[in-house]
Homo-oligomer: A and B are copies of this chain.
Amino acid sequence: MTEHIIAFPGGTTRFCFDADLEQLRQLAPPEKSFILTDENVMIHYQRELKPWQVITIPAGEASKSLETVDDVVRQLIALDAGRDALLVGVGGGVVTDIAGFVAGIYKRGIRCGFVPTSILAMVDAAIGGKNGVDIGAFKNMIGLVRQPEFLLYDYRLLQTLPEEEWINGWAEIIKHACIRDEAMFGLLEQHRLEDFQKNGQLLHKLVMKNALLKAGIVAQDELEQGDRKLLNFGHTLAHAIENVYQLPHGFAVAIGMVFAAKLSEQHTGFPATGRLVALLERYGLPVSMDFDKDQALHLMQADKKKANGLIHYILLETLGKAVIQPLSVDTLRQQIAL
């Protein structure tokens, strides 16, 4: 196990990389801890989770709703969970978001920790304390910023992850490379997904690098006044098409990154859209799609990154260097029409 303790302004998180689910007993004693997970995780890991009282939600983005929150809270009440309880989300980003949000509001806040079970959750969703619940087609329209006490990484849990979910998670890895780490971009160009699936040490190093890259940005800017905004690269368009077309999050982000790269060409002279497209395709990710442009523009305007009528868009100057640029809706309308 490789442990890193990161102090965020709002709380400290213990990152336990290369760990074993068995070690969860120490972090979350079964007498006072409750596990939130989804049906897919339960199918594979029911035996491992047996020591705990478990609340199970349906798998998939549709569970990121206030109805699910209501249901989980009622189950916590029925299980007699007190203010001293610890809620552990074991699953992908949907599970960690709901666990983090419910822990933030149940009895005005109880402790929480996460065991991410997908690439996407391991390198992104479970890190940084942001959680979100969707309101209809509007993604993450409500939520909190609140750090988990711990993150436990057991890579064996990825053995049951479907291929599509591996690909899905890779979009955020490529995003991190784009905004902060040109060397990692080069490393990814030299490998294929199978390399990471077969080589545990290669995977461990990549996951840890990505988790710490994100944690480092968040530790400097927990409330997203500055650099944390850069993590939204590819996400403004992604959020506008993801729920409407029921795209996996990473697929929507991949399409959003290519759109943002093209915007960047015009506004910053970004020279490497071709390399980005090639890398995304190398890892099985989509780079474009036909979507309803008017609807996407409408949803982009409701996105959280908007202030003073301008949408704060994340553009690339070069591979590894991102910038924030306020763009008018008209500018986006022109690019989206191309």
Mark A residues whose CB is within 8 Å of B. 66, 69-70, 73-74, 77, 80, 82-84, 104-109, 130, 132, 135-136, 138, 140-145, 301-302, 304-308
Contacts and interface: CB of A to CB of B under 8 A. Distances in A.
A104 B144 CA distance: 8
A142 B73 contact: yes
Given A66-B66, A66-B70, A69-B66, A307 B83 contact: yes
Contacts of A69: 66, 142
B141 A307 contact: no
Contacts of A143: 105, 108
A77 B138 contact: yes
19 contacts: A66-B69, A66-B70, A73-B141, A74-B136, A77-B141, A77-B302, A83-B304, A83-B305, A104-B144, A105-B142, A106-B141, A106-B142, A107-B141, A107-B304, A108-B140, A108-B142, A108-B304, A109-B145, A144-B144
Nearest to A132: B108
A105 to B, nearest CB: 4
Given A66-B69, A106-B141, A144-B109, A80 B307 contact: no
A226 to B, nearest CB: 15
Nearest to A65: B70
A83 B308 CA distance: 10
Contacts of A80: 301-302
Contacts of A141: 73, 77, 106-107
A105 B133 CA distance: 9
A143 to B, nearest CB: 5
B70 A135 contact: yes
